[in-house]
Amino acid sequence: MATDPLTGHRVLGFDLETTGLSAKKDRIVQYALIGCDDDGVAMHLESLVNPRQPIPLDASRIHGITDLDVKMMGDFKEHAEEIAEAMEGAIIVGHNINRFDWPFLRAEFLRAGVLMPKPLAILDTLTIARRLKIPPRHQLGILCKRFDISLENAHTAGADAAATLLLLHKMMAANPQHFRRPVEDIPNWASGKDSDGKDAERLGPTLEDLEVVEGSHGWLRITIDGLIVARGRNKGCTVSEVEKNDPRYLEWLSSAAGPLEPDALDVLNKQRD
C-alpha cells in the first residue's frame, strides 16, 4: 500500500459558514470545497448561499457575511447537485466536520429533496489531532499556527477549507506511521475504533509504532511533541505530563536505580531542561 493513503483519490477540504449553530433551525450561508481530483487536477467550488432567513448580527461578526451579501444569491437547492457530484466517492476533509458541517449539510440536502452524497471517507482533523495527542487547544487557527500554516481570512469557508486540507497533510507527514492504512479505515482509527468498529485502545498514537530512544529498553519513545513514556503506570504520557503529575516516578526513571542507560538518561535530561 502507498505510504500516502490519499494518493489516487479526489480529496477536498470542506467548510461551511452558517446563520448559527443549530443544524435544525439555522442555514448555510457559504460553502467551499477545495482540493484536487483523482488525477491531480485542482478543484475549487465556493459560493455564498441565500439562507432564506435573516443572518443574525452575532453570526455576521464571525464570518463577515450579511443579509445584503446573500440577497441576490440562490438558495441551497440551487447548489445541491453540484456539491453532491463533487463529494460523491471523494475523501472529504473538515475540521469538526463530524459534529458541525456534516449535520448541517445533511439537513440542507433533506430540505432540498436531493439525495445526500456518499464520500469514500470523511476525515475530521479535530478528531485526528486529538487521536495524535497533539496538546490542546485544538481550534483550527491554533493548530495552523502549530504547524506553521498561514490562515488569512479565517472564518471564511474558502480559507478554512484550504487550511484544513493543508493541516491534514502536515499531521500525516509528522506522524506517517499512523496513516499506513486504507483511507477508509482512518475515521475508525481516529475515533478510537478498529476496522470492525469495536472500541480500541485510546492512548493516542500506537506506542509500538514510535521510535524507541536508544538505551531506554522501550521505556521512552519519540513523538512530535517530544518524549513519551511507553511502559509502567504512566504509559502513554509525555515526559512533561509525568513531571507535572507524577514527579517521583520521573525521578525514579532518571535515577541510577531506573532502567535507563546513560545515553537514554542524557536524552531524558535534555527533554526536562
User: pLDDT tens digits for 110-125?
Assistant: 999 999 999 999 999 9
- Chain centre distance of CA 76: 26
Half-sphere exposure of 148 (CA within 13 A, CB side): 2
**C-alpha R_g of the chain:** 22
Q: What pLDDT, on the 0 to 100 scale, is given for residue 234? A: 83
pTM of this prediction?
0.71
What CATH number does the domain located at 11-190 have? 3.30.420.10
For the chain, give percent helix, strand, coil, nearest 5.
40, 15, 40
| Mean per-residue pLDDT, 6-25 | 95
Domain parsing of the chain, residue ranges: 11-190, 208-272
**Using one digit for the tens of pLDDT, what is the confidence trace for 191-214?**
987 544 444 444 344 566 678 888
Q: Which is it for the CA torsion 249, 251, 257, 263, positive or negative? A: positive
**Using one digit for the tens of pLDDT, what is the confidence trace for 215-237?**
888 889 887 667 888 888 888 88
Helix, strand or coil, per DSSP, at residue 210 = coil
pLDDT-derived band at 3, boundaries 50, 70, 90: low
**Using one digit for the tens of pLDDT, what is the confidence trace for 48-80?**
999 999 999 999 999 999 999 999 999 999 999
**CA–CA separation, 170 and 128 (whole Å):** 12
